Copies of this chain bind each other. A is one copy, B any other.
Amino acid sequence: MPQNKFLKFLLLQQPQKKESISPRVAGASARDTSGRVVIESVSPEIDGGHTAIKRIIHDWLEISADIFSDGHDIVMAELLFRASDSGGWHRVPMHKGDNDRWSGRFELDRLLPHFYTIEAWRDPYASWADETRKKIAAGRNFTVETIEGLQLIESVRQTCDDQRFKEFVARLAALEKGSWAQTELMLGDSALALMSIFAPRSALSRYPLELEVRVDRGTARFSSWYELFPRSQSGDACRHGTFEDVMDHLPYVRDLGFDVLYFPPIHPIGMTNRKGRNNALVAEPDDPGSTYAIGSEVGGHTSIHPELGSLDDFRRLVAAARAHGIEIALDFAVQFSLDHPWIREHPEWFDWGPDGSIKFAENPPKKYEDIVNIRFDGEVFPAVWYALRQVVLFWLDQGVKIFRVDNPHTKPIPFWKWLIDEVNVIDREVIFLAEAFTRPKMMKKLAKAGFQQSYTYFTWRNTKSELVSYMVELAGEMGEYYRPNFFVNTPDINPYYLQASGRPGFIVRATLAATLSSNWGLYSGFELCEAGPLPGREEYLNSEKYEIKVRNFDAPGHIKNHIRALNRIRQENPALQDWRNILVLNAWNDNIVAFAKLTPARDNCVMVLVNLDPHNAQECTYEVPLWEFGLPDHGAIEAEDLLLGIGFTLHGKTHRIRLDPRERPVVLWRLLGRAQAEARS
């Protein structure tokens, strides 16, 4: 077949023919990957296809690409996709937009990685029909064209067994040869559809990469985290808290609207070099020690600190939480107290000095004398990797499916890739949150390696320009693989802003976190506006990492009502269940940030105005995004104040507002397009 000869030549130049051309020489593929139909600039595609993008189950994944060929022939394209357990491709047609940009989409309907690629080809029959129609419209003779069309159909008929095609040919044959009726039938939609199915695809090109999309459950994108230390939940400074106490606290957490309850390490705590209160180098006899100094003579990473309860208690807690609609998330901290059983059982997994002493964790000249690190390479590989994997699988067996990973940036990236893949193959619902506060490229790389969620720089983004530029970055290419989780505070981070802001600042920061990011979290005490610092430091005084803390959760001045409202509003408004859909709005005051979040279908829109100044009333002129609803600048839109529960109408695009931190530092409004307003009334 002549056509095959051409294809064969092109295929010879394709990198998949490994025997002839090394695929690692990009120059070779630069000459060879493009066939007569060009497919390039595929989006999304990160790092030349080396990094998988991320979506959640039931998302529709939209793919676009530049697709074109030489000359005037009609080009067709299909999006190919498959789940990772399937070798066969599903196909959907792609559609051409402006400037040779094509797009197509498919639903991610299984909790599995999916792959996608693109095929495109020249369609001789559609090209014939297009040219013939133009000639007919120009009044030109088309006898020759009719014969050519018949020849194209005849060439397919010789090999096509399809009944529909045979019927079409029979209808065609029944008409007078060369008649107008025959031409009309050949130019009709059904003829084009049949030929597009059964005619061989001319100059077929396949995009040389199969790109991957990781599919996670919805919680990976939309979650509200509450962090607490179980040992602090007794309500009595003299009694170590237990899992039973935590169970008693579940209604409180649920009432505030949180759906993930995260514990710092719950494992036995080492005695040797135990840290005292406020990170003191020497502990008093009754100091409980740092929860991050994991391991004692009673056990290590798969054991529970005895004073918290038993493994059975823990399982009951997981179940009780689930009954409250709350998932338990555990800390996965790969570090070891000097009393950790692995040090006795596998001394070779750790670093020892030439003097026979174990090497402490350090970041010279700083030295952490209560913990040691494990080795990842050399002769300990892969034993240590499998041992750590077993830790995660152990807790997975106890019903834990969310792991917050401590300091992943100090362990090898390949380890995280491997671990997350290994665990997700066993259970696709497991979510890992990367707790890295480090350099930007490493933060991103951990997400690329597979972490389903990531901590962010949010606590250090305070001004309007900082917040806006950070959101633009997170919503851009990073949005394909990096799912931010905006924690307003952590046991390690007592933000300077909150140390000086008073209660309005807590409302501001909670509102920003809960509306800018679909994943957000707080560490217990935030709702009580706790902010007492180690003087001059971004840390808490009397850090709960080193002592048991008792709180009065009804202390005056709390913002529990606001947090409860935020989580309710997040649940009720799909626009707040993503972070990439932000529309920054004009607000002519650098202390006031204004933005809207919109669903792709524009059927939900939440508009937020925040006075970042916790001390002074600020006012500004701002814009309501009427244009997003197809409304003119003088149009009117129905709105609903989501905090106050009252409805009103905004007339015109430009308005003025005053936000007084003592009365209302923030507003959250739902804007109702005509369809929603009508559905509501």
Q: How large is the interface on A (under 10, 10 to 19, 20 to 34, 35 or more residues)?
A: 35 or more
Q: B209 contacts A34, CB within 8 Å? A: no
- Chain B residues lying within 8 Å of A363, measured Cβ to Cβ, are 72
A556 at the interface (CB under 8 A from B): no
- Collect the chain B residues with CB atoms within 8 Å of residue A18's CB: 18
Closest to A381 in B: B6
Once the chains are docked, how many angstroms separate the CA of A632 from the CA of B495? Answer: 39
Contact code string A361-401 (vs B, CB < 8 Å = 1, else 0): 01111000000000001110110000000000000000000
**Do B9 and A30 touch across chains, with their CB atoms under 8 A apart?**
no
For the complex, is A157 an interface residue (Cβ under 8 Å from B)? no
Find out whether the CB atom of B354 lies under 8 angstroms from the CB atom of A70.
no
Contact A138 B36 (CB under 8 A): no
Within 8 A of B (CB), among A14-47: 15-16, 18, 23-27, 29-36, 38, 40-41, 45, 47
> A49: CB under 8 A from chain B?
yes
- A18, A36, A115, A363 pick with most chain B CB within 10 angstroms: A36
| Majority secondary structure of chain A interface residues (helix, strand, loop or mixed) | mixed
- Stoichiometry, as copies per complex, reads 2
- Indicate the member of A30, A33, A411, A439 with the most B CB atoms within 10 Å: A30
A655 within 8 A of B: no
Q: A24-B15, A70-B409, A363-B72 are in contact. Are A50 and B36 (CB under 8 A)?
A: no
A147 and B354: CB pair below 8 A?
A: yes
Q: Judging by beta carbons under 8 Å apart, are B52 and A49 in contact?
A: no
Interface presence of A445 (CB below 8 A): yes
A197 surroundings in chain B (CB, below 8 A):
none
Query: Is A604 at the interface (CB under 8 A from chain B)?
Result: no
Q: With A2-B378, A24-B15, A377-B203 as given contacts, are A364 and B131 in contact (CB-CB < 8 Å)?
A: yes
Contact yes or no, A30 B138, CB < 8 A: no
A 350-364 binary contact with B (CB < 8 Å = 1; else 0) = 000111010000111
Residues of B within 8 A of A25 (CB): 115, 210, 212
Interface status of A135 (Cβ within 8 A of chain B): yes
Q: Is the CB of B27 within 8 A of A212?
A: yes
B99 with A440: CB separation less than 8 A: yes
> When the two chains form the complex, which single residue of B100, B140, B151 contacts A439, counting CB atoms closer than 8 Å?
B100
Asked if A210 and B34 make an inter-chain contact with CB atoms under 8 angstroms apart, the answer reads no
Contacts of A26 in B (CB 8 A): 48-50, 52, 115, 209-212
Q: Is A421 an interface residue (CB 8 A)?
A: yes
Residues of B within 8 A of A640 (CB): none
Q: State A26–B16 Cα separation when bound (angstroms).
A: 13
| Contact (Cβ within 8 A) A381 B9 | yes
Residues of B within 8 A of A131 (CB): 362, 364
- Other than A3-B378, A148-B353, give 15 A-B pairs with Cβ distance below 8 A: A5-B381, A24-B209, A26-B48, A29-B49, A30-B47, A32-B417, A40-B47, A41-B47, A70-B442, A72-B363, A130-B364, A135-B364, A138-B364, A147-B354, A203-B412
Which positions in A face B, CB cutoff 8 Å?
2-3, 5-6, 9-10, 13, 15-16, 18, 23-27, 29-36, 38, 40-41, 45, 47-52, 66, 68-72, 84, 99-100, 113, 115, 130-131, 134-135, 137-138, 140, 143-144, 147-148, 151, 203, 208-212, 353-355, 357, 362-365, 377-379, 381-382, 409-414, 417-418, 421, 439-442, 445, 448-450
Write 23 A-B pairs (CB below 8 A) sorted by A numbering. A6-B377, A9-B382, A15-B24, A16-B24, A26-B211, A29-B49, A30-B51, A31-B52, A34-B50, A34-B413, A34-B445, A34-B449, A38-B445, A47-B48, A130-B364, A131-B362, A131-B364, A135-B365, A138-B365, A140-B365, A144-B354, A144-B355, A203-B412
